[in-house]
A and B are shown apart, each in its own frame.
Chain A
Amino acid sequence: MQQPGRAAEIKAIGIGKSFGSFRALDNLSLDIGRGEFLTLLGPSGSGKTTFLMILAGFVQPTEGKLLSDGVDITDRPAEQRAAGMVFQGYALFPHMSVEANIAFPLKVRKKSAADIKRRVGEMIERVGLKGHEKKLPAQLSGGQQQRVALARALVFEPGVLLLDEPFSALDKGLRGQMQAEMKRLHQETGTTFVFVTHDQSEALALSSRVAIFNHGKLLQVGPPDEVYDRPDNRFVAEFLGEINMLPLKGVRPAGNGSTGLCEDRTISMGCKAELVQGDAILAIRPEYMSISGEAADGENGIAATATNSTYLGAATRLDLTTRQGAKVTVSVPNEVAAAALSKGNSVWLTWPAEKGFLLPHGGQ
């Protein structure tokens, strides 16, 4: 984090943090690659913000080590780590103009007046705040304040930019716009971005990798499609989006994948049954399931009855119940939903083998 203009590579080794008897973070090890866009995702109280604060140097870990470009920075105070940071609510200096806010980190670093003027000017241009230089933060809209916060955090070319739920105060349209802008800034600066959010769609849309937290533990890290399509456990599967879960019996390896019995039908899966054998849970995202009148032999499918539908505009969300009482939700074209409901009796739910994955039975 100490070399300006160069993306940092951060290594967290066995980081733990306790507040009294509360375990906020437990034995966290994570490598953050040079220039990557890593999102820390989890519900509130999951430890993601605590980890960000430890990276920033505002919170001291109870155990573990933190390396930046191979140098141990665990005990280094925040002002010497100088990671760029964007806070929830922006935390701009209310008594300073836009210009002075952005110049602050450069003044602290005793840059020459000419250098400060040039870099602040460039940054203002880059985040689209031209014409607002002399305004106070209170005179700006939420989106503009956000831009000032980003500019202030990036102007001194930190090795890493830490972002704590920066978009939570913005309305939906503006949020999408700011997300796109942040992605652009990431590409332009090449800096390592570590981004905290509890919004799974934001995490999937922005990051090169997502780290999912719950109860102070890091559950899984991987690229968005990997954590979405192949979650390691039930929490990750459910947190990243809607998911259908069906009980599965007699799971065993078969060929390159595995098979099992679901409501007396043989189901095949693309994944290997390495850890889970016997009883397990079959998980399928709603968008991978379709509805048909009949399931061919050898095709994955179970019979179900449609119970309820919600019109969503582009598609209809259909709630179904299987013969043995499992609840399933699918998202299907509107006319398919209408047909399924009007029949009033059984339809077949089918899905491609590689889209179903196995989760251990019970627990997490």
Chain B
Amino acid sequence: MRSYLSDRMGAALLMAPLLLFLVLAYAWPFLGVVKWSFTLPTPGLGQYEALLTDDLVQSVFIRTLRIAAVVTVVSVAAAYAITVVWVRGTPAQRLIAEFCILVPFWISVLTRAFGWVALLSNRGLINTWLQAIGFISEPLALVRNEFGVIVGMTHFLIPFAVFPLASAMRSLDDRVLLAARGLGSSRMRTFWTVFVPMTRSGIIGAAMIVFVFSLGFFVTPAILGGGRSVMIAELIYLRIFQSPDWGLGAAISVVLVLFVGALMALLFRYVRPKQLI
């Protein structure tokens, strides 16, 4: 018999390395960032006031929220469709869906971003083909804008939306779906009035994860946005490494961390962490 206390101590010991790493590598340096936001270039709340008045900062914030919202809706919808096939399809369909979900995980985010550039740029595959079949005469602007950023981010984030959705769909009792059909409901109606509402917790979880990830995206918007569609993480980078305006960069970071923290708190009020895997 092992006592409750020793179990708890065991768990604490097992988690200690991770906690220590997080404190040393994230929490401690971040406190430094918080300090900068109040001290650079002069002590005071000047940087936070600037956040409220600086047009550039505000437009980047709004763009970031807009892109994150669109990416969330598109990713969750696409992930929902894939997950339905993955969880409820025939064995062959499941295999294909699993392949589509897992392969992106093995390819670096950088490679994927450049892959999209190769597809979407003015002389990329899509524009070349569309021109070749005479569908368009001028290349479409598919990259170096918000559209390109959204495509790249959506592609990256779909697999992350799949897991909470799959968890919700797996825990669903098949008999409830049979019951709906037995009561006269068509497959379509059963899907929309029973299946989708019953996977609500998975949808919320998936949407929160994708939205939070989107807010901090750096590499994909930097490459596919081509400097014209700057998102918040890139703005922080520019303020700190190029301007250099450390105080403002630090203040933006602090606001972003607080915002993400609030969203996570909201997420865990509705969804148990177990359901997200």
Contact = CB atoms under 8 A, between A and B. Distances in A.
A93 interface: yes
B137 interface: no
B175 A108 contact: no
A104 B183 contact: yes
B198 interface: yes
A182 interface: no
Interface string A64-91: 0000000000000111101111011101
Contact of B182 (A85, A89, A93): A85
Contact of A156 (B175, B180, B183): B183
A58 interface: yes
A95 interface: yes
B243 interface: no
Contacts of B175: 87-89, 91
A82 B198 contact: no
Interface string A86-106: 011101111100000000110
Given A108-B184, A108-B185, A91 B200 contact: no
Interface residues of B, number: 19
B270 to A, nearest CB: 14
Contact of A82 (B173, B184, B200): B184
Interface in B169-183: 173, 175-176, 178-183
B184 A93 contact: no
Contact of A89 (B173, B193, B198): B173
B186 to A, nearest CB: 6
B89 interface: no
A281 interface: no
Contacts, number: 68
Nearest to A83: B182
Contacts of B173: 89, 91
Interface string A113-152: 0000000000000000000000000000000000000001
A85 B198 contact: no
Interface in B190-231: 193-194, 197-198, 200
A156 B184 contact: yes
Given A79-B184, A104-B185, A93 B178 contact: no
A4 to B, nearest CB: 11
A149 to B, nearest CB: 8
A85 B175 CA distance: 11
Given A88-B175, A91-B176, A109 B198 contact: no
Contacts of B179: 85, 87, 91-93
A78 to B, nearest CB: 5
Interface string A251-295: 000000000000000000000000000000000000000000000
29 contacts: A56-B178, A58-B181, A58-B182, A78-B181, A79-B183, A79-B184, A79-B186, A79-B187, A82-B184, A84-B183, A85-B178, A85-B183, A89-B175, A91-B176, A91-B178, A92-B179, A93-B180, A93-B194, A95-B198, A95-B200, A104-B180, A105-B183, A105-B184, A108-B183, A108-B184, A108-B189, A152-B183, A156-B183, A156-B184
Interface of B: 173, 175-176, 178-187, 189, 193-194, 197-198, 200
